[in-house]
Amino acid sequence: MILLGISKYPMQSAKEVAKRVMEIPRLPDNIKGKGNYAYTTKEGSVGLVIYEFDSSKADEAIEQINGAYWRFYDVPGLSYELIHCSKARDAAKRFLELS
């Protein structure tokens, strides 16, 4: 299973976000993270992490990933979302099955 973790925050919060990113403990070995990637927009900064884990342990993995993001709850202007992604072939197959 793949989750995209996307966080958005104003430039004024970038220093606090960087500090907290460095303090987050590593996720368990069953969750593979790719990133942290970052880019800036006119609204501020955006962070992106790609998480991959076995779908049979999805509930546990999502809880652990979500817990890491909760460390940022009081950073001014920060928001995040976790987006479930499927491989294009799997998504197309599911779509055809439902049609």
Count of domains forming the chain: 1
Per the CB < 8 A criterion, the answer to whether 17 and 45 are in contact is: yes
CA–CA dist 52, 43 (Å, integer): 28
pLDDT, residue 40, reads 94
Residue 38 has pLDDT above 80, yes or no: yes
Mean per-residue pLDDT, 74-91: 90
Residue 82 has pLDDT above 90, yes or no: yes
pLDDT, residue 88, reads 83
From residue 94, give the alpha-carbon distance in Å to each of 59, 61, 76, 83. 21, 23, 40, 18
Share of the chain above pLDDT 70, in %: 100
pLDDT, residue 48, reads 95
pLDDT, residue 17, reads 94
Q: Which CATH number does the domain housing residue 14 bear?
A: 3.30.70
Full domain range(s) for residue 78: 2-98
